[in-house]
Amino acid sequence: MPVHPIEMRYGRGEMREIFELEARYQRMLDVEAALAKALGKVGVIPKKSAAKIATKASTKYVKVARIFKLEQKVQHETMAVVLALAEASGDAGRYVHFGATSNDILDTATTLQIRDAIAIVERDMRKLLGITLKQAAKHKNTIMVGRTHGQHAVPTTLGLKFAIWACELARHIERLEQLKPRILVGKMSGAVGTGAAWGSKGPKIQELVMNDLKLSSAFASNQILQRDRFAELVSLLGLLASTIDKIANEVRNLQRTEIGEVEEPFGARQVGSSTMPQKRNPIRCEKICGLARILRANVQAALENITIEHERDLTNSSCERVLLPECFLLTDEILRTACDVLERLVVHPERMERNLQLTRGLNMAEAVMIELTKRGMNRQVAHSVVRNCSMRAIEKNLSLKDALLREPKVKKYLSEKDIDALTNPKRYLGSAVATVERVVRELKPIHRK
């Protein structure tokens, strides 16, 4: 039975397949095949033997069960793969893994997994960006309360929220593009990175192997690829998860019963509580927020993996067996869930309108202060006057308009008609709509790439 939730609850099949054991062994065999072909090309081993090894470097011939049995005997995973491939290769088996070290195979195979995994992540990042842009355009005029410190501030639009999220997602896509040349790198340099077993042919062998696998070559390495590469990748996944966490947290807060401005989709037969039949809990967003905590915590482990003793030790190995599959599967789950929530988000403009009127105009105090300043009042004086009117409105349960009309210093500059206009939230959106339109226009090409 499954133990870890990523085995049956989190992450889609296409991502899980990349990290299944047979798939990992196949990538290790792919690297062994590329090595054999390279050795044949430079004349280190017979070309006929190289071709035989390459043909047999498949889980069709090298069975997982056989690798398991050999590993129990030799207590070394890579050596078990090597022995199983050698068995399948007949006489050519004598040349399997010639001159290589375990991490030539392991690290390069891991990079192949990462390449396939980030292709899925990037696809879904662009999909999520597209959804946020669509919602930004749709709701560019959907006016709502802006909130700072949990308190009502000046008005904003739902579209501007989405535009801000879209900009952040676009930056993560840019970061991923910048990361690819640093992470899609393999190595084939022998025991401590000198390639001594191949003599002067070492650099050419690495070049041929990486060209075959469509990876870049590490400029210099010891026995492993340096883990700053993997740490940067996991950090990016942590950043991405944190952005989506922020989005999900906002949806959760706006779904609160006393706010009720948006809500995540709720299925026709979905149950919110085992005892309270009325509940419509934001479980999808809560799941995102919870999983994001794990991804952020994993960044610490990835950073600690950078430190090794001398040319290598095994401290990173066991950690990464958990770390990389978990990070990608949880990122996959977060992205899938976020796409679903934001694409089918339920919006309640009528609740937004009601909440805009909740403070009876107090959220428009800034607009009044600015207009008083424009009409000749000292800005600092205007701030003090409007503040006093606001405090009086709160204490005496008045609207801001009523409090302003009772203040002679205000009436000197503003008529009742002026105050009505100034306390209309729809007239105080500044460049919000134009900003949304610019964001949508500028970021659409990134979404469509």
Quick check: 336 and 120 in contact, CB under 8 A?
Answer: no
402 phi and psi angles, rounded to 5 deg: -60, -40
Q: How far is CA 253 from CA 134, 159, 306, in A?
A: 22, 17, 38
Q: To 10 degrees, the CA torsion angle through 323, 325, 326, 327?
A: 80
CB 25 within 8 A of CB 77: no
199 Cβ neighbours under 8 A, 6+ residues apart? none
Catalytic residue list contains 149: yes
How much of the chain is in helix, strand and coil states, percent to nearest 5? 70, 5, 25
Per annotation, catalytic residue among 4, 273, 384, 415: 273
> How many H helices and E strands in the chain?
18, 6
Is 76 a residue of the active site?
no
Write out the DSSP string of 272-295: S-SS-TT----HHHHHHHHHHHHH
Residue 226 CA to residue 312 CA, distance in Å, equals: 10
Residue 113 has phi, psi (to 5 degrees) of -65, -45
Token pair of 182 as six digits: 């640093």
Helix, strand, or coil (residue 187): coil
Catalogue the active-site residues. 149, 273
